[in-house]
Amino acid sequence: MKTFKKTVLTMALLLVSAGNLAAEKVCVSTPNNTLLLLAEKGSELKFVYYGNKLSGEDMENIFYNEKYMPAAYPVYGLYCQGESALAVRHGDGNMTLQMEVSEVEKTSDENSETTVIKMKDKVFPFYINVYYKAYIDADVIETWTEIFHAEKKNVELNNFASAYLPIRRGDVWLSHLYGSWANESRLMQEPLEAGMKVIKNKDGVRNSHTAHAEVMFSLDGKPQENYGSVIGAALCYSGNYKLRIDTDDSEYHHFFAGINEENSMYSLQKNEVFQTPELALTFSDEGLSGASRNFHSWARLHKIAHGSTLRKILLNSWEGVYFDINQEGMDQMMADIASMGGELFVMDDGWFGGKYPRNNDSSSLGDWVVDSRKLPNGIEGLLADAAKHNIKFGIWLEPEMANTASELFEKHPEWVIESAQRDLVTGRGGTQVVLDLANPEVQDFIFDLVDGLMTKYPEIDYIKWDANMSITNHGSNYLDTSRQSHLYIEYHRGFEKVCQRIRHKYPDLTIQACASGGGRANYGVMPYFDEFWVSDNTDALQRIYMQWGASYFFPAIAMASHISAAPNHQTFRSIPLKYRIDVAMSGRLGMEIQPKNMTDEEKNLCRKAIAEYKEIRPVVQLGDIYRLISPYDNLGVASLMYISRDKTEAVFYWWKTEHFVNQHLPRVKMAGLDPDKTYTVRELNRIDNEPLSFEGKSFSGRYLMNTGLEIPYNHIVDYHKKNDYSSRVLYLEVK
């Protein structure tokens, strides 16, 4: 009741004092979105509106309609029954905050306009600055908060969300990703019900194996791909996070996102600035795919390393040879990928170790010296081979880790994360440990590892940066006893510092974020990494589901997607090569296979696919996604397409996900084309004896979107080649 009275009073003030500096409407705008706030000096910052761009008139009159104006960044202490973004304990034990707007500032650069709303506590010398960065070339607003004080004693931060957003109740559905190792990025969709929905991570190192730090809210009922209003939110953080959606007895779902505060109480010193990670927000009235397109454009332009540069087609050695690395084997793989038209070879795990050779996963991490027993000519020899085959060379590292069986651990046992007075809990291989990235010496060690390699071998084009362990021991030998609860936060600050130093010195290097597969798909790391390994599971059928989920937030250019062997090494499913190729070609195409074991016919199919992928690469990697039929809808088929920005080219994917005789599959209507343009259809990766009936024929975008092409359910091939899989990739071009 009190809150309501206060709101009415605020409205009155605004209306009475229109034009008065005391009541400032703060409008944060991207090309198609508006976020509207009310910043009245001496009062709490209020949230008014987030959605499609408002006209001037709507902006004036909206206050007559929006009677509920919650705090834009709710703090704990007064009216404390709701959830809050920030909760602290002052040095004198006081548990309350009352933040009042003191100043609003706007600054801009060539890509964005940033609004900062500065607030001070009514009593304590305690401050927050809430930032809103609006891009002028992408419909994303990033919001984050700075927290600082000038109190004598440290202030304990118990809750420190990046941001808060109220979402009007109705029939709101949440789409989010959930999974586990080898089954990452599974799409989950559910209506928001009363109570609290929490999406969180506590791994310490990798934060996207299970839940993801990105969500979408469909505001108009059951989620639809190509219509309806959607709010998307992505927390740009590599560490532990918590997303909370509280549906209380009000008209709103209350959405909070930030660092997970559990076991991370932060003791903030006088004048120290605590900066939260950004929460990226987008709004689209073109459904889930529309929100994805907004995220993808923003990511390619601003949030992924080299987001607008086409990626090379590569072969990675892991599933081909595992730890069995040697000079001849690497040379053979390089020759094979080069002969199929590939552009890069990546040598995975198993190449290093002096006293402790890395023959399996139980030793050697940290000892980043070439194992000369396996590679007598060293990295020089490998680079010479790559040059001979006219391809680039990349290398696997797991820089944040060590094994207890390593020279590094013998020299620096104090560098590992361990709990004082406790036995060490180890990870992979029974001996893996995590280095303490809170420690600047460890940060230097990791930077020097990359710097040393790159200085000696500037030809190295690509690093696969792996991270295969969680923080399983809470304890840092570097942090003093009063700061042990800062471990998770300091780890990721240290990690980011190292990434920044590497990127500063090696801006052109391609770096993949791998973390036991898809453990590091997040926008905290992507500014420093070019791509992520979607999953250690390379089974094409299961990849359709995982890549579908990941595509909600990440563009194809960032999703490493490799053709692997049959039977698959994770699921043991035997999927024909054509289908494996057609799935891999919907992301950043690569191979993860021993080419030596492939037949000439298989190599030829890959050679053709690589050549065709080169043609469509700009559309796949830089185009707009339209998801058409979801594999999660169990209709027997999954389909999506990418369309060039000017809508003159498109690539359409169709994968059958179930096989029954005389089954009925829906005809897929396309989306996103220009209705008035005429598109000529060409099938890629064709294996059928006869071309499709519509091969080379032209159709209007209108027809393709209203009716769709009738795709044959099976391939017409010789009897001995028939199998239970079927897939198509069509290239559409305006001639």
Pick the closer one to ligand GLA by CB: 290 or 590: 590
Pick the closer one to ligand GLA by CB: 514 or 620: 514
Rounded Cα distance between 557 and 612, Å, is 16
3-class DSSP assignment, residue 134? strand
Pick the closer one to ligand GLA by CB: 33 or 432: 432
Pick the closer one to ligand GLA by CB: 37 or 511: 511
Burial of 571 (0-12, 13-18, 19+ CB in 10 A): middle
Pick the closer one to ligand GLA by CB: 172 or 325: 325
Rounded Cα distance between 200 and 203, Å, is 10
Pick the closer one to ligand GLA by CB: 399 or 517: 517
Pick the closer one to ligand GLA by CB: 112 or 468: 468
Q: Residue 511: what are its φ and ψ, rounded to 5°?
A: -130, 130
Rounded Cα distance between 345 and 604, Å, is 19
Q: Which residues pair with 3 in a beta bridge?
A: none
Asked whether the beta carbons of 705 and 626 are under 8 A apart, the reply is: no
3-class DSSP assignment, residue 440? helix
Cis amide bond preceding 567, omega within 30: yes
Q: How far is the CB of 488 from ligand GLA (least distance, A)?
A: 22
DSSP 303: I
Q: How far is the CB of 118 from ligand GLA (least distance, A)?
A: 44
Q: How far is the CB of 532 from ligand GLA (least distance, A)?
A: 10
Asked whether the beta carbons of 144 and 277 are under 8 A apart, the reply is: yes
Q: How far is the CB of 319 from ligand GLA (least distance, A)?
A: 8
Pick the closer one to ligand GLA by CB: 239 or 394: 394
Q: How far is the CB of 342 from ligand GLA (least distance, A)?
A: 18
Pick the closer one to ligand GLA by CB: 157 or 560: 560
Q: How far is the CB of 409 from ligand GLA (least distance, A)?
A: 18
Q: How far is the CB of 522 from ligand GLA (least distance, A)?
A: 16
| Nearby residues of 734 by Cβ (< 8 Å), 6 or more positions away | 647, 648, 649, 674, 677, 678, 679, 680
Q: How far is the CB of 518 from ligand GLA (least distance, A)?
A: 9
Q: Residue 180: what are its φ and ψ, rounded to 5°?
A: -160, -175
Rounded Cα distance between 286 and 486, Å, is 41
Residue 361 amino acid letter: D
Pick the closer one to ligand GLA by CB: 182 or 729: 182
Q: Is the CA virtual torsion 132, 133, 136, 141 positive or negative?
A: negative
Pick the closer one to ligand GLA by CB: 396 or 506: 396
Pick the closer one to ligand GLA by CB: 233 or 337: 337
CA atoms within 13 A on the CB side of 729: 23
The conformational region for residue 570 under phi > 0 = left, psi -120 to 50 = alpha, else beta, is: alpha
Q: How far is the CB of 554 from ligand GLA (least distance, A)?
A: 17
Number of alpha helices (DSSP H) and beta strands (DSSP E) in the chain: 13, 35
Residue 395 corresponds to which tokens in the numbers above?
């290398």
CA atoms within 13 A on the CB side of 554: 38
Q: How far is the CB of 406 from ligand GLA (least distance, A)?
A: 15
Residue 226 amino acid letter: N
Burial of 454 (0-12, 13-18, 19+ CB in 10 A): middle
Which residue of the chain is nearest ligand GLA when measured via CB?
A: 349
Block residue for tokens 């040697």: 326
Pick the closer one to ligand GLA by CB: 225 or 592: 592
Q: How far is the CB of 209 from ligand GLA (least distance, A)?
A: 11
Block residue for tokens 């001070």: 120
Pick the closer one to ligand GLA by CB: 83 or 348: 348
Rounded Cα distance between 408 and 367, Å, is 6
Residue 192 amino acid letter: L
| Nearby residues of 654 by Cβ (< 8 Å), 6 or more positions away | 637, 638, 639, 668, 711, 727, 728, 729, 730
Q: How far is the CB of 416 from ligand GLA (least distance, A)?
A: 19
Burial of 531 (0-12, 13-18, 19+ CB in 10 A): buried
Pick the closer one to ligand GLA by CB: 312 or 464: 464
Angle between helices 2-16 and 56-65 (to 10 degrees): 140
Q: How far is the CB of 513 from ligand GLA (least distance, A)?
A: 10
Block residue for tokens 């959405």: 255
Interface residue list for ligand GLA (CB under 6 A): 318, 348-349, 361, 396, 466, 468, 514, 516-517, 533, 536
Q: How far is the CB of 588 from ligand GLA (least distance, A)?
A: 15
Q: How far is the CB of 425 from ligand GLA (least distance, A)?
A: 19
Rounded Cα distance between 483 and 422, Å, is 18
